[in-house]
Structure 1
Amino acid sequence: MGKILRYIALFWIVFLCAGTFYQYIDFKHQSVFLQLKQKAVETGWYLPAFYCHIFGSSIILIAGFFQFSKKVYNNRPLHKALGKLYVFGVLFFASPGAYVMTLFINRGPAVFASFFIQNTLWVIFTLSAWLLVMNGKIDEHIRMMRRSYGLAFAAVTLRFYIWLFTIFGQGVNFPNNYIIIAFLSWVPNLLLVEAINYYERKNGFKVEGSKTL
Structure 2
Amino acid sequence: MSVTGKVLRYLALVWILILSLGTFYLYGNFKTDEGFLLLKQLAIKTGLYLPAFYAHIFGSSLILLIGFAQFSKRVYSNKKLHRFLGRCYVFGVLLFSAPGAYVMTFFIHRGTGVFISFLLQNTLWVLSTITAWRFAVNGQIAKHACMMRRSYALAFAAVTLRLYIYLFTVFGNGVNFQYNYLIIAFLSWVPNLLLVELINYYDKGKVPTIAVKA
Is the pair's TM-score, using the shorter chain for normalization, greater than 0.5?
Answer: yes
Question: Which of residues 88, 94, 110 in structure 2 aligns to 1:107?
Answer: 110
Which residue of the other structure, out of 142, 145, 149, is the alignment partner of 1:142?
145
Q: Match of 2:179? A: 176
Cα 1:175–1:106 change in 2 (3 A) is farther
Which residue in the other structure is 1:27 paired with?
A: 30
Matching of residue 18 in structure 1 with residue 27 in structure 2? no
AA aligned to 1:182 is A
Once the two structures are superposed, residues 63-116 of structure 1 have per-residue CA deviations (whole angstroms, 9 ceiling, x without a partner) of 000000000011111111110110000000000000000011110000000000
Q: TM-score, normalised by structure 2?
A: 0.95
Q: Work out which of the residue numbers 147, 160, 163 in structure 1 matches 2:163.
A: 160
Residue among 93, 97, 103 paired with 2:96:
93
> Residue 207 in 1 paired to residue 193 in 2?
no
Match of 2:123 in 1: 120
Query: Which one-letter code corresponds to 2:206 in the other structure?
Result: F
1:81 counterpart letter in structure 2: F
Is the 1:49–1:100 contact (alpha carbons within 8 Å) kept by the matching residues of 2? yes
Give the aligned residue type for 1:18: L
Residue identity over aligned pairs, in percent, reads 64
* 1:147 and 1:190 in contact (8 A); partners too: yes
Cα distance in 1 between the residues matched to 2:145 and 2:176: 40
Q: Does 1:132 align with 2:132?
A: no
Q: Deviations over 1:177-209 (max 9, x none)?
A: 0000000000000000001111123xx435332
2: CA distance, partners of 1:171 / 1:14: 24
| SS at structure 1 position matched to 2:29 | coil
- Compute the displacement of 1:176 (Å): 2.6
Q: Residues 13 and 156 of structure 1 are in contact (CA less than 8 Å); yes or no, is this contact kept in structure 2?
A: yes
Alignment of 1:59-98 (within 5 A): 59-98=62-101
Q: Which amino acid aligns with 2:73?
A: K
Q: Quick one: distance in 1 between partners of 2:171 and 2:122?
A: 28
Calculate the TM-score normalised by the size of structure 1. Answer: 0.95
SS in 1 for 2:179: helix
Distance in 1, matches of 2:207 and 2:15, equals 30
State the Cα RMSD in Å: 1.4
Bigger mean CA deviation after superposition, 117-126 or 5-14: 5-14
Query: Could you tell which deviates more after superposition, 162-171 or 56-65?
Result: 162-171
Give, as a single letter, the amino acid of the residue that structure 2 aligns with 1:44: G
Listed one character per residue, the Cα deviations across residues 116-163 of structure 1 (whole Å, up to 9, x for unaligned) are: 000000000000000000000000000000000000000000000000
